[in-house]
Structure 1
């Protein structure tokens, strides 16, 4: 009986260690990319999804580089302030406000670069990322949840 109990405890500990290491690994690898590498990967992904011309590809690449550099600067600044202590509600509001302003700028720029059909498809592609922030993962396949039961995939 003791052997079974020891085996069960060892199995639970081993599986929890494996699970926690694997989960954080993908986030650590993303920190190693330079802004240029991030911009190149994101641009190539959009080229495949939206069938972009060479001119559109160059404009989006420049936009993505600018976006990645701003994000790096923003994250470093945010982490420094966060390590110094907790942020006040005004600071959190300012960060959220600047993030939303940057999203609006990117949307306007993409609207100028892409054709109408490409822009509509781009909005559908970006929609799940915004929904992931608002909804709970357990409701993902729940047809009664307003953010569940994804039907936009059929539109692509």
Structure 2
């Protein structure tokens, strides 16, 4: 009897977690609206909340349009910078890997097979240790 109750509770609990949840404002829906549409909706909400008159609506609408244009410009600039940074990161990573390949080939030609195996083992240990130090450093920066 106990087992049946436990199984029933597990089934009920798991089924409640498995239900699909809908977000309040799906991101795609907001992004599909134009800048003017978003401004218009925001202005209407402000009119309801603040009880704006026609003159205030016009003034606030102009101000919101200017602000949204500035924000969109800043977003575009930021996006361009991020793309540039991605390209730079790729180039640097690619160059570093090329240098590592070159070093490995040179060491392979200089060292015996046993020495090369020891060198790789030592290099792997050092890389692991440096990774741990980086991880600790990042955690320390977050705190």
Could you say which TM-score interval applies, normalised by the shorter chain? 0.3 to 0.5
The two structures have a TM-score, normalised by structure 1, of 0.40
Q: Between Structure 1 and Structure 2, which shows a larger proportion of helix residues?
A: 2
Structure index of larger Rg: 2
